[in-house]
Amino acid sequence: MRFFPHALALRFPVLLISISAIPVLAEAVTKEEAEKVEFFEKKIRPLLASNCYTCHSATTKAAGGLRVDDRNGLLSGGNAGAAIVPGKPDESLLVEAIAHTDENLKMPPKKKLNDEQISDLKIWIEAGAAWPSELVSSNQSSTNPKYEKLKKEHWAWQPQTNPQPPSVKNSGWVRDNIDRFILSKLETRQLQPAADAGKAALVRRITFDLHGLPPSPAEVDAFLNDTSANAYEKLVDRLLASPAFGERWGRHWLDVARYGESTGASRNLPMPHAWRYRDYVIDSFNNDKPYNEFIREQVAGDLLTARSDQDKRENLIATGFLALGVKDVNQRFKVRFIMDNVDEQIDTVSRAVIGTTVSCARCHDHKFDPIPTRDYYALAGIFRSTDLRAGLRNKMGGGGLDYYDTERLIPLQSGKSGGPSAEQLEKAKKEVAEAKSAFEKLRDSAEGSELSPDGRPRRAVARQKFNQKQIALANLTDPAANGGHVALGVLDMPAVADTEVRIRGEAEKLGPVVPRGFLTAFDVPGAKPVNVKQSGRLELAEWLVNENNPLTTRVIANRVWQHLFGQGLVRSVDNFGVTGDRPEHPELLDHLAQRFKAEGWSIKKLVRAVALTHAYQIGSEATAENLVTDPENRLVWRHSPRRLDAEEIRDTILAASGQLNTKRPVGSPAGDFKVIEIPNNGPQARQLQKASKDSQSRSVYLPLVRGIVPATLEPFDFVEQGTVTGSRSTTTVPTQALYLLNDPFVRRNALTLADQLVSDSSQDDQSRLNKVYRLILGREPANIERDRATAFLNEFQVIWQEESAKPVQVASANSGRVMQVSQITTQSDANSAPAQDKPKPASKATEVAKKPTPPVNPDEVIQEDSPIVEEIIQPSNAESAAWAGLVQALFGSAEFRYLK
Amino acid sequence: MSHRNVIQNGVIPSLGRREILKSASAGFGYLALAGLMGQGIEKRSIAADSNSPTLPGPLASKSPHFPVKAKRVIFLFMNGAMSQMDTFEYKEKLQKDGGKFGPGGGTLLSSRYKFSKYGESGTWVSELYPNVAKHVDKLCFIRGLHTDTPAHPEAVIQLHTGAALAQLTRPSMGSWLLYGLGTENQDLPGYVTINPAPNFGGTVNYGSAFLPAHFQGTKISDVGYLPNVKAQAPSRLQRRQLDFLQGLNRDLITNPSKPHELEGVIESYELAFKMQGKVPEILDYTKEPQHVLDAYGVKDGPEGSFARQCLMARRLSEAGVRFVEIAHPGWDQHNNLHAGLTRNSKATDQPTAALLADLEARGLLDETLVIFGSEFGRLPTAQGPDGRDHNITGYPMWLAGAGVKKGFSFGSTDEYGQTAVEGRMHTTDLHATLLALMGLDHEKLTYRYAGRDFRLTDVKGHVVKEILA
């Protein structure tokens, strides 16, 4: 080669990987390569840094999608294609751009490089575009000596056993083999199990556990009056057969699947079709879809052979599991966007299905579990070969529909009208391009600040026009337009491949390629390797649900146990690794897992079996001795009281006031949102909160856009929605008390029930008390409670009348932006047929916000809170007020909040 | 503590100590029992306190790792990246070389605003901040800051949570402080954010992520609105109702099936009842004397927003709220640089100065740390005819009050103010230093989640001792 006339001293790190070819080690670095790198460092890198980095580098941005501070950035190029083709300067866009010959492609835009610089760049590209690699840390791919030992010893990775149910002294206590495992340990530790729960407690417990709802007074009576030997068994079967079962247990899975209807993270964009996945999950639990099939569909539904069109659609919707996570669409660099999403998928699949924290191995070998970085990237190759179809693209700093990509959706069923004609499409695209370029010209120019006739700056008008054209185009290209059905999910990429280890997890820093595969922490005998012609998700799914996978069935059996006993046999339900909890009952867990497999992976059968055990049916009474021996009740000597979750509290309040609509609503209030950023104080957020407030459907159907949690769910530790959460926290804080004392939802429903009681003149106060205690607490009041309640009702009425006679308080000066909308629930209102999913007529929360002008740069705009609309609930008379006060107190009581 | 006892993911943890406590009838002295022991104590790796015999609630005041320099924080967040070149960062060479080609590309843009030296420290401040300028001898500038991402959403999230990674939401710095230190006033939320950004991560910026929910920030609007905190019934009526309700709750005390959170529930109602009186009162800044309202420049509407926030911040902080954040948005001047700077400085200068003066006059500045700054800075070069683009390689913030040097400046950028060259300080170092000022060791303030220990500073961060008084 005639360039590099001066041989220079080699001053590079010894351990060097050249990424201009397949990674090789130091020994293979030739003198010639070293010279090329030297040339790069001396001439090219400084040139790029001082002329291009402002718009195309890691510390700034990737204008046009291009980065020039990274060889892969140049190779993969920006929106216009590869910037350089090593060895071929003539085919390299970069060379064309710096020549300033094409009017539309001049770089740097305002200042042409000098001839020497242009020549240096050509020389560098012709010589192969050498680029020194990162120093690879020597421990990057070493094997951790602890790993072999851990693999052999850690309980969770050992093959499942089929333990013999132990013998017990008190065999009369045993109703199922499960009871033998429990009783045997209790006997060993000399713990006496609590006496059986009363029938009233039992029917309340099992109904909440299976439906997330209270039993109606009639259902309680039916059970109490059924003296047949199998009364409880019949009750369990009835509950399992109801659609309410899937709504409750589907919600448990939605927690695990970190379900949400928006991207969350930095720019919160709606994912309007997410609800199809929600319905799919609920239906799967109701249909008792075998769990292995359920997992297979969610991980690889698109690759399965479908029995029917309906089946095919369902399989595609199921892959929403991989698509509905948090996404940083504002990520500047496509490669990071991709690898972050891959990581999100790996984390979700591994923690949800096998209770393993694989994501720790993204940057370094796992510190606790035997998961080397190699294994992580073996999985990453599978997801890197998977095409994420969430309708989104990444872009730094966008507005309007900039992030929406209608080609990245999965159409299920086309709308009423056929697709647009080629001409229509062509025209719309052209108009978008024109509007875009018109806007971009005005964006950074003085002209843009000039005012247009309507008084707005010209750039704002141009941006609005651009938005409108984008919407017009989307209306043509969006498969969901005109009533079409769309799923968010995944498909295989057209080109599938293994991927490289990323040094320290940095997306651009490539290490050696790793063949696609699965974890090596444990063996799954009989699992098939990846089909190299596909992404490998199908084999991954099969590996997960392989009968010999030690974790999958243990993890789900543990989740089932957790939802019936309040806590798992393994407390850390999403982490079975070394840092997780060790079960007191590993044999019982294996027993459950084995039975689960033998029973066709049926969730309902497992739930049924556990619900019918004696262990489940004991009382919740604690004794001082047992508390000392086993304070956490790990051995199940009683049924630990459990706090109702956020959904149960809301649904029960609605059910008690007769307002709950048990029918499934169609879609979601966020289902027709445009894919445009949602600030959490803007009109869309308010629209969602209003939809939640007005909804009488079960909580699982409320809109769940991330960051805009329905106000009725927020106080009671609603799930975080960001990552896999198999176990919610349960806090006790004053905001919960404030909610139960003052929130319009609680007050409105209390008053509705109060009005119903008062309006029924055939009832006296005693029967009203009976009714209200039964509705809310599932029991009748004791005599002393009756006396106290009666005294309360009388005194409250007197105080109410005295207070009502006082002049009305004026709202304080600084609540100027708080609008108060009074609602007086009348008796006719309360008696009208409940359970219609229409907004309540009494709520006339008028919208006063002006229509906002679309912002030019959304990041510059001062986003003002929408005016707060406060609903004031006012009883119409003293009697209603007193009864409402009593109802609300019962909703607020600890007895209501905790299930025995 | 062995790993065995440490439970992940919010699973109800070891009840041992709780049950023992209960049988020792610790009474109602502790709040929020549910997450209390395990989440509040056992999973927390705080120095001395876990052996404390009287177990407080998770929000009770806790003893820190180091001697405390600052008890409370008020963070004035200039959301959108304020141009330092036009406000607090004077560069003689930039003023001279306007119009020339800059070192990193682009055309240098001198500031149009006049800078002068102020105070004994002789600190340069532009004419946009004449009132804050009077306080320069109280301020401690850190001028070598840098961060990772030049996009607002990620940078705002990183500034608030330590990490911009989207895959795993981290707890916000206020919730870490609350987790580590508890709060001084049990009648008030310990962590308040007023007028937070509705985008750029929104709730993430004051959320508690995987920390228990009681450590999250309480959002209050810029007119002092907080849902459900105002009693919806006259006090007499509500008290009667509460007495009936608490009667139901107390009935359970002797019930062998009672939930272990029972006393926490009872306590939470009494607290809520008190909060209804206390919180609206504290947020009602209109009760301040007229000269105070005037000093801050309180008025209605958006122009008075920041003044109202400053005043509420002082009232909350004075009442013992551990961390108060207030925000002025709208600093992203890619266009309209000069109009935007004028608008924003007008809205923020007087109230910020008034806050400093007021805290000092009340003797609160010695125990309160005030932080003023943005998620990153802007470039010394021009963008378009009237704008500056983002800069993450060098920008300042200032601190004032408890624990930091006065009239001091640490670190610097190059001659044009583009890249930090001396005293470089990453966002993570700022966090480590903030924790140290509050008495917490950023390497020891950990929380176990999803199989590993998390920190605000993750695996990085060092305390910049140079700025500590």
Asked if the model's pLDDT at residue A656 lies above 50, the reply is yes
Q: What span, in angstroms and rounded, lies between the C-alpha atoms of A36 and A109? A: 28
Torsion angles phi and psi, residue A199, rounded to 5:
-65, -40
For residue B50, the tally of other CB atoms under 10 A from its CB is: 16
Strands (DSSP E) found in A438-503? 485-487, 489-492, 499-502
Using only C-alpha atoms, chain B has a radius of gyration, in whole angstroms, of 23
Q: What is the mean pLDDT of residues A304-313?
A: 95
Q: What span, in angstroms and rounded, lies between the C-alpha atoms of A258 and A323? A: 11
Using only C-alpha atoms, chain A has a radius of gyration, in whole angstroms, of 32
Angle at CA of residue A441, ends A436 and A445, nearest 5° = 145
CATH number of B72-224+284-467: 3.40.720.10
CB-based contact A60 B390, cutoff 8 Å: yes
CB-based contact B8 A736, cutoff 8 Å: no
Task: Please state which of the ranges A27-31, A82-86, A96-100, A475-479 shows the lowest mean pLDDT.
Answer: A27-31
Q: What is the mean pLDDT of residues A303-330?
A: 95
Residue that wins the pLDDT comparison between A642 and A266: A642
CB-based contact B153 A267, cutoff 8 Å: yes
Residue that wins the pLDDT comparison between A827 and A788: A788
Residues contacting residue A875 through CB under 8 Å, at least 6 positions apart: A751, A754, A800, A824, A825, A881, A884
Mutate to test the interface with B, among A439, A644, A814 (most CBs of B within 10 A): A814
A268 interfacial to chain B (CB closer than 8 Å): yes
Interface contacts A/B by beta carbons within 8 Å:
395
Number of residues that this document lists for chain B: 469
CB-based contact B248 A893, cutoff 8 Å: yes
CB-based contact B223 A817, cutoff 8 Å: yes
Q: What span, in angstroms and rounded, lies between the C-alpha atoms of A358 and A369? A: 9
Mutate to test the interface with B, among A268, A269, A331, A733 (most CBs of B within 10 A): A733
A 693-752 residues with CB < 8 A to B? 707, 711, 717, 720, 722-723, 725-739, 741-743, 747
pLDDT at A888: 97
User: What percent of chain A is modeled with pLDDT above 90?
Assistant: 60
In this prediction, residue A823 has a pLDDT band, given cuts at 50, 70 and 90, of low
Domain boundaries, chain B: 1-57, 72-224+284-467
Residue that wins the pLDDT comparison between A51 and A403: A403
A819 interfacial to chain B (CB closer than 8 Å): no
Residue that wins the pLDDT comparison between A801 and B211: A801
Q: What is the mean pLDDT of residues A543-565?
A: 98
Looking at the partner chain, which of B241, B248, B272 has a beta carbon nearest the beta carbon of A734?
B272
For residue A635, the tally of other CB atoms under 10 A from its CB is: 19
Structure tokens at A264: 């969350």
Chain B residues with CB under 8 Å of A53 CB are 104-105
Q: What is the DSSP string of A700-715?
A: GGS---TT---TTTGG
User: What region, left, alpha or beta, does residue B74 occupy, with left being phi > 0 and alpha being psi -120 to 50 degrees?
Assistant: beta
Write out the H or E segment, with its range, that includes residue B424: none
Quick one: which of B395, B78, B278, B146 has its CA closest to A59? B146
Q: What is the mean pLDDT of residues A317-345?
A: 92
B95 interfacial to chain A (CB closer than 8 Å): no
CB-based contact B199 A863, cutoff 8 Å: yes
Query: CA–CA distance from B386 to each of A467, A484, B381, B383 (Å)?
Result: 24, 45, 11, 7
Asked if the model's pLDDT at residue A49 lies above 90, the reply is no
Looking at the partner chain, which of A50, A734, A873 has a beta carbon nearest the beta carbon of B103?
A50
The pTM assigned to this predicted structure is: 0.81
Residue that wins the pLDDT comparison between A607 and B35: A607
CB-based contact B9 A727, cutoff 8 Å: yes
Which residues of chain B have a pLDDT value below 50?
1-56
HEC assignment per residue over A288-350? CCCHHHHHHHHHHHHHCCCCCHHHHHHHHHHCHHHHCCCCCCCCCCHHHHHHHHHHHHHHHHH
CB-based contact A812 B284, cutoff 8 Å: yes
Q: What is the ipTM of this complex?
A: 0.83
Residue that wins the pLDDT comparison between B133 and A733: B133
pLDDT at B261: 84
pLDDT at B127: 97
> Do B403 and B468 meet the contact criterion of CB atoms below 8 Å apart?
yes
Q: What span, in angstroms and rounded, lies between the C-alpha atoms of B10 and A725? A: 9
Q: What span, in angstroms and rounded, lies between the C-alpha atoms of B461 and B457? A: 6
Q: What is the mean pLDDT of residues A737-745?
A: 95
* Best-predicted range by mean pLDDT (A54-58, A69-73, A331-335, A689-693): A689-693
Q: What span, in angstroms and rounded, lies between the C-alpha atoms of B361 and B288? A: 15
> Do B168 and A723 meet the contact criterion of CB atoms below 8 Å apart?
yes
Q: What is the mean pLDDT of residues A867-871?
A: 71
Identify the three-state secondary structure at position A500. strand
In this prediction, residue A3 has a pLDDT band, given cuts at 50, 70 and 90, of very low
Torsion angles phi and psi, residue A501, rounded to 5:
-60, 140
pLDDT digits (tens, 9 = 90+) for A459-514: 888 888 999 999 999 988 898 887 889 999 999 999 999 999 998 888 888 889 99
| CA dihedral of residues B261, B265, B267, B271 (deg, nearest 10) | 140
Mean pLDDT of all residues in chain A?
Answer: 87
> Do A165 and A177 meet the contact criterion of CB atoms below 8 Å apart?
yes
Structure tokens at B228: 């459900």
CB-based contact A799 B237, cutoff 8 Å: yes
